[in-house]
Amino acid sequence: MSITSDILRGHTEAIILSHLLEQDSYGYQINKDIMRKTDNKYELKEATLYSAFRRLEQAGYIRTYWGNETVGARRRYYSITEEGRKAYKSYRRDWEEAKVTIDQLLK
Amino acid sequence: MSITSDILRGHTEAIILSHLLEQDSYGYQINKDIMRKTDNKYELKEATLYSAFRRLEQAGYIRTYWGNETVGARRRYYSITEEGRKAYKSYRRDWEEAKVTIDQLLK
DNA sequence: CAAATATACCTTGACAGGCGAGGTATATTT
DNA sequence: AAATATACCTCGCCTGTCAAGGTATATTTG
């Protein structure tokens, strides 16, 4: 793991939203995807993930529904809302700007 | 202000160390420098700054001494230690890697 | 077949960093 | 005389991360 909690902080929600842009998904899957995508360099801890889901739902950025699995454990799916897409875009702009600014400040 | 507290978090110490690489400085000046460098887009709040100084000193990354001003308010200067330089370099590597990873995760 | 592992969900409470709000003191400007 | 600028500092709140714990089902392994 090379990304600290403090760097992670503030990106969690955007990372989740980004994933949901592609397709609806559920917690366990999102978690695995992130690890796979980053060659296990980055792991969203479960507690972090679920608290982020709560915030995103609260904010109206995602909606949730239960999957209709007949075998295996039940899955709670999440889908991004129109508001969520806007929030994602806004976040992306902020991030591009923040990167430049931080780079400046680190010389 | 375009950088949120959550994005800022985790960069404060590195930003301070980076400033001290150039030359010894003091709190008020560092604060002003950062605002100037970023066209007021970024401000390190005083409470944030001073608590970071405490942590950096605790960690042995900076040393502190009082300036010998004869007029005006006294100044507490900070200088970076050899350990601090190492920490800065380590941080820089992490940041370069984190940028790539976060970009990946945001697609 | 019992135990371990994988899939899948969730909560609680501790911790740490950012920062609003407040404070002190000196020098200059209005 | 009051306001502003320079310069320092502390207290306590807030919020996001996460360790540790829990539940339930299905599959693999010894």
Query: Does the pLDDT value for residue B1 go beyond 80?
Result: no
User: CA–CA separation, A35 vs A103, rounded Å?
Assistant: 26
Packed helices B82-105 and A12-22: angle between N→C axes, nearest 10 degrees: 20
Structure tokens at A71: 């075998």
Supply the pTM of this predicted model: 0.92
**B39 part of contact set with chain A, CB < 8 Å:** no
Strand D contact at CB of residue A92, distance < 7 A = no
Straight-line distance from CA A22 to C1' D5, in Å? 53
- Chain A residue with CA closest to B35: the answer is A105
* Nearest residue by alpha-carbon distance to C1' of C11: A47
**What pLDDT is stored for residue A2 in this prediction?**
67
Q: Within 13 Å and on the Cβ side, how many CA atoms surround B26?
A: 11
**B32 part of contact set with chain A, CB < 8 Å:** no
Structure tokens at B44: 């390190």
- Total residues found in chain B within this entry: 107
**What pLDDT is stored for residue B80 in this prediction?**
98
- Beta strands B62-66 and B76-80, pairing class: antiparallel
CB-CB under 8 Å, A3 with B94:
yes
Straight-line distance from CA B47 to C1' C9, in Å? 40
Mean pLDDT of chain B: 93
Query: Does the pLDDT value for residue B30 go beyond 70?
Result: yes
* CATH class assigned to B5-106: mainly alpha
Query: Does the pLDDT value for residue B106 go beyond 90?
Result: yes
- Please give the single-letter amino acid code of residue B37: K
What is the spatial order of strands in the sheet that B25-26 belongs to? B25-26, B76-80, B62-66
Residue numbers of chain A with a pLDDT score lower than 70: 1-2
Structure tokens at A30: 């999102």
User: CA–CA separation, B43 vs B3, rounded Å?
Assistant: 9
Closest-CA distance of chain A to residue B61, Å: 16
Q: Which nucleotide is nearest to B52 (CA to C1')?
A: C17
Strand D contact at CB of residue A30, distance < 7 A = no
Q: Residue A101: which of B10, B38, B105 has the nearest Cβ?
A: B38
**What pLDDT is stored for residue A39 in this prediction?**
87
Each residue of B38-83: pLDDT tens digit? Answer: 988 888 999 999 999 999 999 999 999 999 887 778 899 999 999 9
Residues paired with B65 in a beta bridge: B77
Backbone angles phi, psi at A68, to 5 degrees: -105, 45
